[in-house]
Chain A
Amino acid sequence: MSLLELRDVAGGYGPVQVLHDIDLSVDPGHVAVVLGANGAGKTTTLRAISGLIPIRGDIRFDGESIAGKGPEAVSRLGIAHVPQGRGTFSELSVEDNLRVGAVNRTDNGDIERDLKRWYEVFPRLGERRRQEAGSMSGGEQQMLALARAMMARPRLLLLDEPSLGLAPLVTRELFARLSDINRDEGLSILVVEQNANLALDIGHWGYVLETGRIAVQGPAHQLHDDEAVRQAYLGF
């Protein structure tokens, strides 16, 4: 059974409908990739899952319907959402940012252990732990956002265009970390991206959105290798 399942989801912003009949699922331990051009509805899909916009249709997490729940509730169920723009708490220190991730956990000892762990995975965060998060570079803030999301020990990670505004080298490192996390912890990930190449490399299954509908889907490596798909949709 899928960990996350969207059935016939439609939704948008006020009078503007963005998504139409979206059927999408994420299997446990898998990385699902959602690709598409600007305005195709990728971000909107994630917002629908997190309950940030009203939708028609059903969304099931671990078999239970979460459609209609607000973002606070969805988060508590174990879905961590790293939004576009990274959601950094600019005035707070790096360490405080990470602690916010763990804010609904009660296992204090483990929280400290997790902090140490993420400082090891992202040493630059450790170096800057007392620094104001807003003064860090885009890449550093993205690492922070990822670590912060992981501090919640989520069961599903939603990532919205993590490569946006990042240098290629940094992006590569980010995706390498993502792949590690997926492999080592079996964490399920749904990543929305414009940078199709890197995303499909770490993905298991891919969807291509076009004007709010799923145009193509299939195993990630197939999408990656298929000339026609690449030229038509992925631009590489």
Chain B
Amino acid sequence: MVPAEIIQTQPAQPVILFVEDELLVRLSVADFLRDAGLTVIEAGTAHEALRVLKVRSDVALVLTDLRMPGAVDGAGLIRQIRKSHSSVKVVVASAFQSSEPVDATVRKPYSLEHLLEVIKSVLAR
């Protein structure tokens, strides 16, 4: 009988939590990052992202937009990450500047290749 605890196989690839409310952008970017060897968890809102972080301890980096619908926006998500998940790195992908300290910012519009370079660079630190 398997005990009732989260059994997470250790992924060979780093785990990225990608937060983006626009569906087709989310699907396309996530697909690209998976092809590049990353494990990607998708969240459509900051609330969903926080829910993932609450139950998973293997997220290495959060890639997030700033402007998202819901009670918590990207800035609120970043604050919560800094407060409760301090080992998780944060990369912002947005047309706007983050008011919160982050590990890197990728300004929209971005190329997927550049986004990947930035993510790899942050993960390597």
Mutual binders A and B: no
The interface of chain B, by Cβ under 8 A from chain A, is none
